[in-house]
């Protein structure tokens, strides 16, 4: 079974005339005071718009960044402005529109420590709390947990969709089931590997994290990323997998002379990395093999790029996985900011069953952890 809790949804409540506080995850990247990526803002809109249409007075709150106290550079004002341009409804920052956007919850003392007085302050005057911040439900903060202890609380449309889609990956999804993991750090993914490995048919590992695996197998990895403290754990995982051989590691790479966009680079076999060079992408044979596994799967989950995809010459591996996911006829889910960004960069976001707004929250769910911002909703199920 999944560690998912029971909760009510918008379908279970009549919100007409209610004052509703929505917690969304509007923690988006900013660039020069402008919203650089509005994926999370667009993902938050269906719930907000449904509430307005149903006659609720709607206020939405979120954190943005990791401020220490009030920091004008992390105001939600530009987020509210972008939201207004994305919806027919009138969105106001700290003022009464159809949708009222509150200032950054992390400007409040007691937000991250979930102080009762902060939760009371947030809940004050509202009839209903709608938890829709999937990307933040792994945080036990005043705006994610404290408020939901005080007033009647339900899940929003995005949270419900995320939990259904990612929950499926834990709970007997269709097979063959393939998980593709990348990204820089194996330490971020170790718990997910351990929890998903028994459930999957194949686990394809690329990105910076694959070098810790390869090093543990005795390969020379040059200047590639290796997390030394993880070597023993990784070796144990590979050894335990020896019979079933679900874990697939790269057989070739695109390696660079140094870590730079314009570095000299070449395709090399896994045992042929020139001394001091650094692996910056999986190679074409690996890309083909991974793509083949992905395409013929009935279920796929992908988190983490295969290489430094921001640099064009190290993008091919990530692109091979992304294209295979878009071609796969089965259920496909992509999580983590970089993988989602890669799908969007390639214009493939429309051909994925589920693009997740959660990074850490999605991983914690797949690790089998309880998500406090979801668990708290259970008390309102009667």
Give the span between the Cα atoms of 151 and 379, in whole angstroms. Answer: 10
Query: Does residue 219 come out as left (phi exceeding 0), alpha (psi in the -120 to 50 range) or beta?
Result: beta
- The least distance separating ligand 3PG from the CB of residue 104, rounded to whole angstroms, comes to 11
Q: State the binding partner of 132 from ligand 3PG, Mg ion, none, CB within 5 to 8 A by kind.
A: none
Q: Is 63 helix (H, G, I), strand (E, B) or coil?
A: coil
Q: State the binding partner of 335 from Mg ion, ligand 3PG, none, CB within 5 to 8 A by kind.
A: none
Residue sitting closest to ligand 3PG (CB): 27
23 near ligand 3PG, rule: CB under 6 A = no
Whose CA is closest to 92, among 66, 55, 59, 64? 59
> Please, which residues bridge with residue 35 across strands?
30
Kindly report the length of the chain. Answer: 382
Give the span between the Cα atoms of 250 and 318, in whole angstroms. Answer: 13
The one among 10, 20, 22, 25 contacting ligand 3PG by CB under 6 A: 25
- The least distance separating Mg ion from the CB of residue 84, rounded to whole angstroms, comes to 4
Instruction: Name which of 299 and 357 has its Cβ closer to ligand 3PG.
Output: 357
Q: What is the chain's alpha carbon radius of gyration, rounded to the nearest angstrom? A: 22
- The least distance separating ligand 3PG from the CB of residue 159, rounded to whole angstroms, comes to 13
**Please, which of residues 66-85 interact with Mg ion by CB under 5 A?**
84
Give the span between the Cα atoms of 33 and 75, in whole angstroms. Answer: 9
227 near Mg ion, rule: CB under 5 A = no
Q: State the binding partner of 84 from Mg ion, ligand 3PG, none, CB within 5 to 8 A by kind.
A: Mg ion
Q: Are 36 and 72 in contact (CB under 8 A)?
A: no
Instruction: Name which of 2 and 81 has its Cβ closer to Mg ion.
Output: 81
* Token pair belonging to 25: 């995850």
Give the span between the Cα atoms of 314 and 45, in whole angstroms. Answer: 34
359 near ligand 3PG, rule: CB under 6 A = yes
Span near ligand 3PG by CB under 6 A; candidates 7-15, 133-141, 231-239, 300-308 = 133-141
Instruction: Name which of 98 and 188 has its Cβ closer to ligand 3PG.
Output: 188
215 near ligand 3PG, rule: CB under 6 A = no
Binding mask 83-122 for Mg ion (x = CB under 5 A): -x--x-----------------------------------
Residues whose CB is less than 8 angstroms from the CB of residue 194 and which lie 6 or more positions away in sequence, other chains included = 237, 367
Instruction: Name which of 283 and 359 has its Cβ closer to ligand 3PG.
Output: 359
Instruction: Name which of 139 and 189 has its Cβ closer to ligand 3PG.
Output: 139
> Please, which residues bridge with residue 93 across strands?
101
Q: Which are the catalytic amino acids? A: 40, 185, 337, 360
Span near ligand 3PG by CB under 6 A; candidates 7-15, 131-139, 161-169, 206-214 = 131-139
**Please, which of residues 134-153 interact with ligand 3PG by CB under 6 A?**
135-136, 139
360 near ligand 3PG, rule: CB under 6 A = yes
* Token pair belonging to 315: 């993008």
Termini Cα distance of the chain: 22
DSSP state letters, 120-156: HHHHTT-SEEEE--GGGTTS--IIIIIHHHHS-EEE-
**Please, which of residues 224-253 interact with ligand 3PG by CB under 6 A?**
none
207-211 long-range contacts (CB < 8 A, ≥24 apart) are: 207/181, 207/182, 207/183, 207/304, 207/305, 207/306, 207/307, 208/182, 208/183, 208/184, 208/279, 209/181, 209/182, 209/183, 209/184, 209/185, 209/304, 210/182, 210/249, 210/250, 210/279, 210/282, 211/279
- The least distance separating ligand 3PG from the CB of residue 138, rounded to whole angstroms, comes to 8
Instruction: Name which of 135 and 283 has its Cβ closer to ligand 3PG.
Output: 135
- The least distance separating ligand 3PG from the CB of residue 35, rounded to whole angstroms, comes to 14
67 near ligand 3PG, rule: CB under 6 A = no
- The least distance separating ligand 3PG from the CB of residue 23, rounded to whole angstroms, comes to 11
Binding footprint of Mg ion on the chain (CB under 5 A): 84, 87
Binding site for ligand 3PG (CB under 6 A): 25, 27, 66, 135-136, 139, 359-360
């Amino acid at each position: 079974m999944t560690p998912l809790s029971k909760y009510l949804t918008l379908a279970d409540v009549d919100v007409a005339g209610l004052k509703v506080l929505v917690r969304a995850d509007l923690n988006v990247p900013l660039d020069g005071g402008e919203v650089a990526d509005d994926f999370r803002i667009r993902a938050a809109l269906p719930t907000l718009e449904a509430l307005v249409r149903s006659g609720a007075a709607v206020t939405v709150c979120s954190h943005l960044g990791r401020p220490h106290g009030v920091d004008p550079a992390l105001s939600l004002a530009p987020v509210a402005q972008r939201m207004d341009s994305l919806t027919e409804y009138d969105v106001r920052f700290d003022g009464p529109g159809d949708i009222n956007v509150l200032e950054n919850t992390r400007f409040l003392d007691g937000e991250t420590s979930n102080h009762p007085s902060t939760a009371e302050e947030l809940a004050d005057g509202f009839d209903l709390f709608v938890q829709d911040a999937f990307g933040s439900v792994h945080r036990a903060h005043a705006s994610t947990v404290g408020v939901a202890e005080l007033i009647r609380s339900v899940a929003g449309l995005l949270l419900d969709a995320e939990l259904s889609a990612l929950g499926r990956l834990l709970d007997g999804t269709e097979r063959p089931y393939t998980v593709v993991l990348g990204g820089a750090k194996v330490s971020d993914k170790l718990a997910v590997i351990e929890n998903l490995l028994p459930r999957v048919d194949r686990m394809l590992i690329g990105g910076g994290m694959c070098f810790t695996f390869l090093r543990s197998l005795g390969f020379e990895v040059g200047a590639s990323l290796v997390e030394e403290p993880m070597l023993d754990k990784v070796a144990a995982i590979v050894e335990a997998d020896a019979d079933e051989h679900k874990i697939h590691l790269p057989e070739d790479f695109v390696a660079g002379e140094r870590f730079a966009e314009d570095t000299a680079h070449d395709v090399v076999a896994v045992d042929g990395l020139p001394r001091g060079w650094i692996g910056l992408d999986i190679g074409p044979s690996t890309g083909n093999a991974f793509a083949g596994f992905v395409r013929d799967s009935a279920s796929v989950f992908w988190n983490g790029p295969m290489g430094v995809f921001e640099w064009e010459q190290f993008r091919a591996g990530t692109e091979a996985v992304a294209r295979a996911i878009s071609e796969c006829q089965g259920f496909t889910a992509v999580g983590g900011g970089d993988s989602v960004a890669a799908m969007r960069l390639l214009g493939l976001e429309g051909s994925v069953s589920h693009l997740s707004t959660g990074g850490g929250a999605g991983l914690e769910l797949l690790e089998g952890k309880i998500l406090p911002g979801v668990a708290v909703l259970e008390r309102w199920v009667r």
